[in-house]
Chains A and B, each alone.
Chain A
Amino acid sequence: MQFESFSDFINMGGYAFYVWLSFGVTFLSMGIIAVQSYLKQSSLLKAVIVEQERKARIKKARQENTHAQ
């Protein structure tokens, strides 16, 4: 450990603002891109289901129409 105490560590030799800002923004932006990728995955798979059900409805409606004629 390079620092005498925990508050020393937080203080970063007087550069606390710059060091913690850098590390904070870095891991925040990495977190955002990771979470966004997973959210997109989930919404895409839901969209596939919605599209599939729509197709099935259209097919069913077509079949019923031909029977009516």
Chain B
Amino acid sequence: MWKWLHPYAKTERAYQLCLTLQPWFWAGALLCLSIGTVWGLAFAPQDYQQGDSFRIIYIHVPSAILSMGTYVAMAIAALVGMVWQWRTAYMSMIAMAPIGAVMTFIALFTGAAWGKPMWGAWWVWDARLTSELILLFLYMGVIALYGAFEDKQQAGKAAGVMALVGVVNIPIIHYSVEWWNTLHQGATISKFDNPSIAPEMLWPLLINLLGFALFIGAVTTVRLRNEIVLRELHRPWVQALAQQHIEGKR
């Protein structure tokens, strides 16, 4: 495992890996998102209580789950960077942060637009909503801290510590609906033995979840390549790459 993984610590190999994965991520994301969204919007049955407003679930739940998933992935990258001193790990950490923040924003926004017709309020200071908002601030904190350092290796370490400390918020978000009395409904799909959703509603949800995950993968590969180019500006292979890019445009 180590022998297989280790070459990717080299930026050039990591860059190549991103290039290889990227088209698959994009193709899969587009396919899953279009199938899942059309299925969810037009073909899934209505909810007997919430009518058609429940269709927001098809973007709300995937973005919310993956806002947490991306955070965990980011924290793992920070840990790898700290333990094995991989520069590439810090680079992938900071590549994931903006897309994770976007997912958190989507989860909050769609939640508000769903809460308004169902609860009568865009926002309530409920445990689930508040902890998700803190997640957004954690993402912003990681991005801002990384940007505040001139030396990007230092920046990676500082932002990595922040990302790791912030992991404590993840179980809080997940269990908030059980620990506190909240307006937010309980988990829908994580109870695999007894999911509280009909299969014809669940399938488009799972497909969209996969689509969102692949989308995050696609954007991460693009941003990781950006980060590598920025950090390896003076390496000959990056300069050759830039030359190629310019010639391709002409």
Contact = CB atoms under 8 A, between A and B. Distances in A.
Interface of A: 1-3, 9, 12-15, 18-19, 21-23, 25-26, 29-30, 33-34, 37-38, 40-42, 44-49, 51-52
Given A3-B42, A33-B98, A41 B56 contact: no
Query: How many residues of B sit at the interface, in one of the four size bands?
Result: 35 or more
B9 interface: no
A45 B230 contact: no
| CB-based closest 4 A-B pairs | A13-B52, A48-B242, A15-B53, A37-B222
B43 A23 contact: no
A25 B246 contact: no
B128 interface: no
Interface string B76-106: 0000000000000000000000110010011
B52 A22 contact: no
* Main SS class of interface, B: helix
Interface string B94-120: 000011001001100110011011000
Nearest to A15: B53
Contacts of B99: 33
A14 B51 contact: yes
A48 B233 contact: yes
A25 B107 CA distance: 11
B219 A2 contact: no
A49 B55 contact: no
Nearest to B234: A51
A22 B122 CA distance: 12
Interface in B18-39: 37
Contact of B55 (A19, A40, A46, A47): A19
Contacts of A29: 102, 105-106
B194 interface: no
27 contacts: A1-B42, A2-B43, A9-B41, A15-B51, A22-B109, A22-B110, A23-B41, A25-B106, A26-B63, A26-B106, A26-B110, A30-B215, A34-B218, A34-B222, A37-B223, A37-B226, A38-B222, A40-B223, A41-B229, A45-B229, A45-B242, A46-B242, A48-B233, A48-B241, A49-B242, A51-B233, A52-B239
